[in-house]
Amino acid sequence: MTSNDSAKRLHRKFQPVFTPVGTGVLIVSLFILIRSLLNRNSYEIVLSFGLLFFLLIVGIIGLWKSHKLKYIEPIWKPPFPLTAASDEKAQISGLDENIPFFFRMHFLVKGRFFPNGHGFLNSKTGKSKKNWSPFFAETSIRFRETSGQVPFDFPMSGIFHGEGYCQLRDIFGFFNFSCGSSQCRTVNVRCAPCWGKKIIINAQTGADDRRNKPAPDIERYYMREYTPGDRFRDINWKSSEKIDALITRISTDTQEKINRIEVHLRNFCKEENITLEALWLLDRAKAQLLYFIRNLMEQGSLFIFDVHTAQGEKEIENQNDLDIFSEELCGLSFFPPQNETGFLKGTGEIYMFSTACDIGLPSFLLSNNHRPCSLFMIQPATEPLFKKTKKKSDETEVIHIRDFDLKNCRSNINWFFQKKINPLSFQNNRTMLFYAELKL
């Protein structure tokens, strides 16, 4: 998540002071007043004058108070890290000003949500494909309270660009006054976690790397916790009995073996095929990739992951690198298919994560058949495919278009007319299939 405090603006564009309800009451009051004057109906004259006088008093109080709140700076803090479909809320604070009894402070968040980033640009028009969704959420701060929460959740991973600002409203719903400065935010939304099979990798699977272990602390340099693969004769049994854990002795000349794992996230797709369903397939591929890396890190072995995407390469060695990579994945969208005629160098196993949108996958597998490859494939859940593979519907990860409306996003009208993604045919013996589906 990044914030742009320099983008604060003291004056927003013009907004009507009257709400639709207030406008209706004003029109009805004027209509009754004019008719009563023509008909000389004293009862209607008193009623219309009373309504207009009440609107005038409430409007003057609201205008006076909103002018005093002109320079208020509320603190809008979105959750970090923000994960999709987690029912998160953004914290609002810094509203220390006194509010009149018949008024309440409202905080609004408005912007655009881009599922899985912005997508690549059209070479002809120079614009990205319009798969974004309008976002709007608001909350009312209780009387005499200085903080609150606003719903801030999204159905899938992506990037949110928007701003938050305050409005002063009367409890009758007649007036709406802008106050305070608006704050712009760019928030990364991580993909929701998935559940899969745990992968166990032998030390001989990936490429080997050897490096000297640094020794800033001499005690940590000679001793560390036992990991699978260490020699039993190196275990310090006396120290292990004291702390109830196996401790291994490491000499100053020992070089620890580190296994390098080559991982490929194939985020390729033709521009005309980038639909909400395609973005959902990519979202699930990202989730499987993160689950794969976390699973191996929890095994305690020393792994370094060389992750290759269409955008570039990334080396992941520890949890901090994984957190940074998870933030980068939020904005990683599809790239146009590339000409991949060469083959990958090396001898270790390759771990690939791809979707049914990757039309270049079969040729890429064929050109690199000299190396073992484990493929994690995200396919659309079509009915004929399930009849053939005898898969159950509960094994499919489903997202609904209505989920966007339930989470304060607005459904893009283009999503209802996009074509379906067809399953991709390929041949690979070491393939794990996962299914994702888009529904209304």
Alpha carbon distance 74, 5 (integer Å): 12
Residue 126: predicted pLDDT: 45
Question: C-alpha dihedral over 30, 32, 38, 44, to 10 degrees?
Answer: -130
CA 328 to chain centre: 11
pLDDT of residue 157: 92
Q: What's residue 217's pLDDT? A: 42
Are 440 and 420 in contact, with CB atoms under 8 Å apart? Answer: no
Task: Please give the model's pTM, rounded to 2 decimal places.
Answer: 0.77
Residue 162 and residue 109 in contact, taking contact as beta carbons nearer than 8 Å: yes
Say how far apart CA 189 and CA 332 lie, in whole Å.
11
What domains lie within the chain, and their CATH numbers? Answer: 2-18+67-190 (2.60.40), 214-253 (no CATH), 258-439 (no CATH)
206 phi/psi in degrees, rounded to 5: -95, 175
**pLDDT value at position 202?**
56
Tens of pLDDT along the chain (440 residues)?
444 443 344 344 557 888 899 999 999 999 999 998 998 888 989 999 999 999 999 999 999 998 888 888 888 899 999 999 888 899 998 888 888 888 999 999 999 999 887 654 444 444 555 678 899 999 998 888 888 899 999 999 999 999 999 999 999 989 999 888 888 889 999 999 887 666 666 544 444 444 444 444 434 445 777 766 566 667 777 777 777 777 777 654 444 455 788 999 999 988 888 888 999 999 999 999 999 999 888 876 678 899 999 888 889 988 899 999 999 999 888 888 877 655 676 677 889 999 999 888 888 888 888 888 889 999 998 755 554 444 444 578 889 999 999 888 988 888 888 888 888 887 777 888 889 988 88
**pLDDT computed for residue 130 by the predictor:** 67
